[in-house]
Every structure is written in structure tokens, then in C-alpha cells.
Structure 1
Amino acid sequence: MAKEILLNAFDMNSVGHINHGLWTHPRDQSSQFDSLGYWTNLAQTLEKGLFDGLFIADIVGVYDVYQGNLDVTLKESVQLPSHDPTTLVSAMAAVTTHLGFGITVNLSYEHPYTLARRFASLDHLSQGRVGWNIVTGYLDSAERLFGRDALAEHDLRYEQADEFLSLCYKYWQHSWEDHAVLKDKTARVFADPNKVHAIQHHGRFFHSEGVFQVAPSPQRTPVLFQAGASPAGTQFATTHAECIFIGGDQIDKIKNNVMRIRQAAQQQGRDEQEIKIFVGITVVTDETELQAHEKLNEYKHYASPEAGLAHYSSSVGIDLSQYGEHDTIQYQKTNSIVSINEKFKEQAITPHHLKQQHELGGRYPLFVGSGAHVAEQLIHLFDATGIDGFNLTRTVSPESHEDFIRWVIPELQQRGRYKTQYQDGTLRHKLFQQGNHLPADHPAMKPTFAQKTNEY
């Protein structure tokens, strides 16, 4: 039986997300992102299309590297303004039953306790449909907002992240035992004191003592997403993550990246199949090839490749406006996204090349055609690389998701490559079919219980 494709919609609580400039299209509704109805309608649409989840991006800070200012960022709404993604989830969960939610939160500006409490609360309210996309940040503008001069060194951020996760695991997994909550009205015992324990943590970056405030949620630990591709990022991701988000536009490179991740997971003592790998994509589709390409040409009139370049500048920490249209961009070591920046070492890339890649204002691979043609392209990429699914970016909202559901999903289903109904259970169980909780070999499950002292 052929492996089924997993699918997330990829979005952000903002006007412009990945494909920039398309907010100006007459049919685009993304400028209504500050309305709750915009998001509840999207959640219901995605659930009708049997999407596994809505993966919600976020940044702390602004894109101010290009031209040394915010002019293009503000004019084209390049993820500015953007709002807190966690505020959306309760409302979207209330109008859906199965759709999962992968929420990006930057741990560099959080304390483990408050973050763990927020996610555990959302996991309760969504009945186990929450995931956390773990990021460490890459914008100096965010550091200045918090009164700091610049980002901490790249690998040091991952050392801090590792300890951050270790402390979160203590809260989620080890403060409350299973069956600690009794809700026994007759005996007047809501929770058994013998099954609730204070944790103790004294590390390099964090200190914490006490009982976690939230009783175990359906998943205990949210599904863990990560996108680290540098050596330090890959080690962190293959230690902790259950789902890894990668980029790539060439089959061989994606395949090699998948193999590298799975080998690294094995070296961490994990089953490589415990990690689901997603690739970001953009799709423009319609009933026929001709209509799809006409739609793409229409979209191009509204897209802003320069806004894509402004986004890219902050991603790599280099002001690309300093280069002429056909000048080769020189590699510079920065503290920003290493996997993107490394391309300047490997290839002769000019701003002209990048603008061509960003014809819709975004850098993810673009698939254009009828539903049948797009389905065949996606199946080919899926089978040739060994990935597990896709994160689908929006173009014109909500049209692009509706088009994908109308034209592509039925073709994938007809080929036996996409589900025809949801399974019951939590997000983790839907993704892995192994129950609600983390597997026994995950680092969160390491025994730290000390019965005699009632502490962890």
C-alpha cells in the first residue's frame, strides 16, 4: 500500500507571509487577518479538505536589514504587522474537530514555565490537537526590542534551547503522574497529593522549583516541530523534534537532506520513522493547465519580488540592496538562518536570480497546473525524496487553499495517496498511529522520578 501524504497549511497571523505583494490582489482577503472570522473560516475550510494541520509561523522583531530600514517591509506588509499566533487557536479549535495546530513560539524570549503552561492549557482546550514549532530566532531587531545588542551566537542559542526543552519535559511529563486527577466528589479529592510532585531544575540558563500548575493534557507534551538545518540545528531537531520542516527545490538535495536527518536521528538512538519530514511548497492550480497558467500570470501582476528580497535579506542577515542586479552575492558569516546563507558558498547567486525565484514574492518551489498535473508532481517529489508531507503556503487568500482542496485533493485521493477521512484521536496519534504520548525512547521520557523526596 502506497504511503499517504501528510499536509499542513502554512500561514501566519499577518497580511504578508511567504508570497509577498499578493495582498493587493482584488480577491485576496489577508488584510482581514485581524478578524477572528477570517481564521475560523480558514480552519473550517482546511478541515473540509482533511488537512492534517495549520502550521502557523511567527517572528519576534521586524525585517529591517534590506536598505537598512523598514520602508519595503511596511509598504508591502512583509510580516508586519503580525500578531501572536497562540491567540488564534482556541477559537479555531472550537469550530473544528480534527484539524491540528502547529504554533511557532520563539523560546529565546520566553521562560519555560509560562510557555509550558500555555501549551498545556491549549492542549486541554483543543483535546490534544496542539503542536509547538520550536525556534530560536534570527533577527537582531528582536534583540533590540528586548534591550539587548545582538543575537547570541548561533550554536549557543541551541544549547539554551536544549536546556529549555529539558525543563519543559519536567513540567509536562514528570510533575503529575497518570491518574493523579480523581475528581472524586464523595471523598472530596480532586487530585491525589501522592501523585503530584515538585520538580527541581538548576541549570546553566534556567532555575525552577515547584509543582506544574496544569494537570496532564491529552498529549502531555505538544507535538514537537522544528526546522533547524545547520549542524547544531540538526542535532537539536533530531534529538527533540517529531516533525521537521525543510526547504529545497531540487529532488537530489531534498533526498540527501532527508537521508542526513534520518541518519542523525538513528545516531541519537531514535527510530528514524518517529520523525515526519515536511517540505514547503506553493501551488497555483485550476481545472485545466491553461487556466492554471493564466491564473499564475494574473498573480504575477500583483506579486512583489522585491518584498521577497527584503524578507530574504533578514533571513540571511545581509543587506542585498547593496548588490547590483547581476552582482554575485558574497557569503558572509552571520547569526541568521545558516541553511539559507550557506547557498552563497555553494552557488553564484545574484539579486536577479533571487527575484526570478521570487516571482510570487516567495522562495518555496512552485507547482503550477491542473489538479491532476499538480497531484502527479507532488507524488513524484514525495516518492523520490522520502519526505512525509508538505507545508502548503498561501498565495491569494483564501482562494489558494480552496483551489487546492477543489482540484488537487480529489486527484491525490483517487491515486490512493491522501486520506478520505480523519482518524479519531490526538494530533500525535493521527500523525504516528502510536497513541497520544511521546514514544519511550524520546528524551522527554527519561526517568527522573525520586519517590522518596516527592521531587524530580
Structure 2
Amino acid sequence: MGKQIRFNAFQMNTVGHQSPGMWAHPRDHSHRYTDPDHWTELARLLEAGRFDALFLADVLGVYDVYQGSADAALTHAVQVPLNDPLALVPLMASATTHLGFGVTCALTYEHPYTFARRISTLDHLSRGRIGWNIVTGYLDSAARNLGLDRQLGHDERYDLADEYLDVVYKLWEKSWEDDAVINDKQHGVYTDPAKVHPINHHGRYYQVPGFHLCEPSPQRTPLLYQAGTSPRGTAFAARHAECTFVSGPSKKVVRRYVEDTRAAAHATGRDADRLLIYAQALIITGKTATEAQAKYEDYRSYINIDAALALLSGWTGVDFSRFPLDATIDYIESDAGRSALASFSAADPTRKWTVREAAEYISLGGRGPVIVGDAAQVADQLQAWMEETGIDGFNLAFAIAHETMRDVVDFIVPELQRRSCYRTEYSGGTLRHQLFGAGPYLHPQHAGRQVKIDPPLQTAA
């Protein structure tokens, strides 16, 4: 029996997510993203496949770097139009019992006080199945629409994020004691005021003197995801993340990210078993290898280079319309997503990618590998990735909604279960309990449990 394999489904509340151009395929249903049934159908499918979670990406801007405008993104539905991911959680939670929900929220543009309440509300309504993907943002267009000339510099965004996490930890973990809520109808007392504490936070970026508005939710702090693989992002993940996502086109690239992340976590004194790493991938499969290969070739016929370059330009902050398609990609520092560009350049200097090759590659499933074959062939490849990179599971992108995920559930999950490397039942409880077998709260050694409420500021008499 090999190492247990975990699956998340990588989605977005939009038409075109990580496979730009595929929405035009006649069997794709991504245009139904505004239909509630689209999401409840998906949630039920994933729960039947015993997925850990449905993971929802998000951005607060548009991909307007390519050709200096948003025209290509709008024309080809490159993550626009885009709806709020958090609104989907109560809808899907009510249709399922065990499936977790990871939501991406950019902390740079929302105050931690209001955000903490929103997440606590979702944790209550999902009965403890909410996770938060902590991102700092990478689009200047988002910063401009929120009143800034441009986004903060890459590393400064993480400095702000560290303080942001301290604020929400204080609100979630320290403001309300476990037994603050009495709910005593006889005496007319719902909450004991002595057990609700103002956090008195006065920092460089935030001033939050008061107490959390919500009573403790099932997990208190949501399960914490993070996806940064730059040196500063890795250091941030080592302190905060319980699960991380990595994306890379080869095992060599992914293994390097895994080793760096685990080493950084170890340096903080954390237990490596309390950090799960998922690698992005796209699975294309069918009843036979021939059928799977035919699907792959069919999907490739819908690749749209302009759409892919609009996405890649937004990820990296580099306008790829300025380069010939046969030009090689070299590493360029930018304040956007450093890891997106590095995965095609500095992370594996033995491979020189052309602009066209990178565009074609991300057109199916983004920056992760595309694994094609029948159930046995795909299972072999998944197990090889697990063994050779040190990952704990896969964040599965899709080519066709919901065909790609249905194929995984129908063909791949039973094969992995037959090999005793994929669970057959959920263990119950909160999302944190599902993943770690303990909980529902943050591990006692986690940074979120170590924060302390500040004393009130002294005022002059």
C-alpha cells in the first residue's frame, strides 16, 4: 500500500479558470457559473468522490497586462466576468455533509475586523468545513480599483499579511473564551461579558481595539491554505499554512518547492506532518487509454494562444505581446506573481521554454502537469509524482466543466481505492479533523495559538 493520495478540486466562480479557451468546447458548462445548480451538482459529485475540498480561487482585478488592456481577457473570458467565491459556500455546504471549502481572499484589500466576522459566519454555516487561502494579491488593476496607484511591493505585502494574521488570530482565538456563551434562558443571560475580551491591537497597519463580533465557530480559525513559493512566500507559509499549493510543469520544479517549504517549516520548529502540500494537476482520462488520448487531442484543438498569454501576462506582470512566440522565457523580477514566471525559467534552468510553449502548456490546467491515460496509467503516474516529489496530494484543475471531475470520480478514484491509497469514507468532523485526524482547532504550537491580546493603551490623565 502506497502513501494515501488526496484530491482537491481547483475551481473559480467564473467562466474560464485555468484552461483558457476551453469554455468554447461544446460539452463545457462553465457558462452556468451563475446557476446555483451548477455548484451544488459539482459539490455532490466531489463528495461522492471523497475529495478533501473544493478550492475556489479568486482575484480582485482583471488581466490587463497583455497588450496593455483587458480586451483579450474580456473577449476570451479569462477569469472575467468573475463572481464572489464566498457566496457559494453556504449553497454548497447545504448540499453536502463532509466536503470542505477553501476560499481565496486577498487580505491586502479588506480590513481584518470585517473579514474575521465573514469567515466565522461561514465556519458556522458550514459546520466547520471552511478553509481560507491566504493571498496578498498580484494584480495592479485590483489596487487601482480600490483607490491605490499600484499594489504594495511583493515583500511588503507579506509584511502587512503577517500583521493581518496576528489581528485575525487574536479575534478568532483569544477574544471569546470557550464558555463565554451561556445561553441561560432562565436568568436571561446569553453571554458572560467577563469572558469576552477586546484585543487592543495597535500596529503599523491596523488599529483594532475591540472584541470579535462572533461567538466561537466550530474551528475558531479556518483551515489555513497558502500558495506562495517565492522566498518570502515560503517563509510566510512556514509560519502560517496548514496546507500549501504548488504549481510546476515538472517533478523537478515541484520537488524543489516541496523541499524548500518543508525546510522553512522545519526551521520554525513545526511538525512536518502538520503541513500538507498539494500539487496542481489536470487529469484527462476515460474507459480506455485510446479514449483518454482522443479527449486530450480534442481539448488541444480549443487552445487559444491569446487567452493563454493574457492569463500568463497577468500572473507575471510581463506583457508577452512584446515578445515573439518563439522567444525564450528568461526570469524577470516583478511585483506580480514571481513563482508563475520562475516555474518556467529559474526553477529549472535545464529547460528553456518559448513563449508559445508556455502559452500552450498553461492552456490545459494551468502550470501543473497534464496526466493522460486510462485509470491504471493515471494511477501509476499519480503515485510516481507522490513518491518523487514528496507531495501529499493534488489540486485538480479541469479542462471541461464538469466532465473532467466526473471522469476522475468515475475512473480514477475507484482505481486508487482498489490500490488502497485513497480513502473510501470520510472520517467525519470539521475540515481540519478530516485532514489531520485531530482538531477541530489549530495545533497548540501553531503561530495562531501563540498570539496574545495586548493591554489597553494608556491615555494621559
Give the TM-score, by structure 1 length: 0.96
Q: Within the alignment, does 1:349 sit opposite 2:353 as a pair?
A: yes
Aligned sequence identity (%): 46
| Equivalent residue number for residue 17 of structure 1 | 17
1:8-407, aligned counterparts within 5 Å? 8-342=8-342, 343-345=344-346, 346=349, 348-358=352-362, 360=364, 362-407=366-411
Q: Which amino acid in the other structure matches residue 421 of structure 2? A: R
Q: Over residues 278-323 of structure 1, what are the superposed CA-to-partner deviations in whole Å (9 max), with x where a residue is unaligned? A: 0000111000000001111111222323311210011111111111
Q: Over residues 339-398 of structure 1, what are the superposed CA-to-partner deviations in whole Å (9 max), with x where a residue is unaligned? A: 223344445332122134235373321000111111111011112211111100111111
CA contact (8 A) 1:242 1:275 kept: yes
| SS of match in other structure, 1:349 | coil
In the aligned structure 1, how far is the partner of 2:62 from the partner of 2:16?
A: 13
In the aligned structure 1, how far is the partner of 2:367 from the partner of 2:176?
A: 44
1:87 CA drift (Å): 0.6
CA contact (8 A) 1:316 1:334 kept: yes
In the aligned structure 1, how far is the partner of 2:242 from the partner of 2:329?
A: 35
Q: Over residues 26-69 of structure 1, what are the superposed CA-to-partner deviations in whole Å (9 max), with x where a residue is unaligned? A: 11110010111111111111111111100000001000111111
Q: Over residues 70-113 of structure 1, what are the superposed CA-to-partner deviations in whole Å (9 max), with x where a residue is unaligned? A: 22211110000001100100010011000000000000110001
In the aligned structure 1, how far is the partner of 2:325 from the partner of 2:6?
A: 39
In the aligned structure 1, how far is the partner of 2:389 from the partner of 2:434?
A: 22
Q: Over residues 143-185 of structure 1, what are the superposed CA-to-partner deviations in whole Å (9 max), with x where a residue is unaligned? A: 1111211121110000000000000000000000011112121
In the aligned structure 1, how far is the partner of 2:193 from the partner of 2:365?
A: 56
In the aligned structure 2, how far is the partner of 1:438 from the partner of 1:53?
A: 18
In the aligned structure 2, how far is the partner of 1:444 from the partner of 1:359?
A: 38
| SS of match in other structure, 2:133 | strand
In the aligned structure 1, how far is the partner of 2:362 from the partner of 2:207?
A: 45
Corresponding pairs, count: 454
| SS of match in other structure, 1:159 | helix
Q: Which amino acid in the other structure matches residue 362 of structure 1? A: G
Instruction: Tell me which moved more, 65-74 or 412-421.
Output: 65-74
Q: Which amino acid in the other structure matches residue 387 of structure 1? A: I
| Equivalent residue number for residue 424 of structure 1 | 428
Question: What are structure 1's unaligned runs of at least 5 residues?
Answer: none
CA contact (8 A) 1:303 1:361 kept: no
Q: Over residues 224-254 of structure 1, what are the superposed CA-to-partner deviations in whole Å (9 max), with x where a residue is unaligned? A: 0001111111111110010000112222332
| SS of match in other structure, 2:427 | coil
CA contact (8 A) 2:20 2:304 kept: yes
In the aligned structure 2, how far is the partner of 1:447 from the partner of 1:230?
A: 25
| Equivalent residue number for residue 409 of structure 1 | 413
| SS of match in other structure, 2:401 | coil
CA contact (8 A) 1:305 1:362 kept: no
Change (3 A) 1:361 1:304: farther
In the aligned structure 2, how far is the partner of 1:221 from the partner of 1:447?
A: 13
| SS of match in other structure, 2:297 | helix
Q: Which amino acid in the other structure matches residue 50 of structure 2? A: L
Instruction: Tell me which moved more, 247-256 or 385-394.
Output: 247-256
In the aligned structure 2, how far is the partner of 1:11 from the partner of 1:424?
A: 24
| Equivalent residue number for residue 445 of structure 2 | 441
Instruction: Tell me which moved more, 237-246 or 341-350.
Output: 341-350
Q: Which amino acid in the other structure matches residue 264 of structure 1? A: A
Change (3 A) 1:259 1:361: closer
CA contact (8 A) 2:18 2:362 kept: no
CA contact (8 A) 1:305 1:361 kept: no
Q: Over residues 116-153 of structure 1, what are the superposed CA-to-partner deviations in whole Å (9 max), with x where a residue is unaligned? A: 10000000010000000010011111111112111211
1:332 CA drift (Å): 2.9
CA contact (8 A) 1:64 1:70 kept: yes
| SS of match in other structure, 1:86 | coil
In the aligned structure 2, how far is the partner of 1:71 from the partner of 1:217?
A: 43
Question: What are structure 2's unaligned runs of at least 5 residues?
Answer: none
In the aligned structure 1, how far is the partner of 2:444 from the partner of 2:359?
A: 46
In the aligned structure 1, how far is the partner of 2:79 from the partner of 2:264?
A: 33
1:330 CA drift (Å): 4.3
| SS of match in other structure, 1:286 | coil
Q: Which amino acid in the other structure matches residue 31 of structure 1? A: H
In the aligned structure 1, how far is the partner of 2:417 from the partner of 2:198?
A: 49
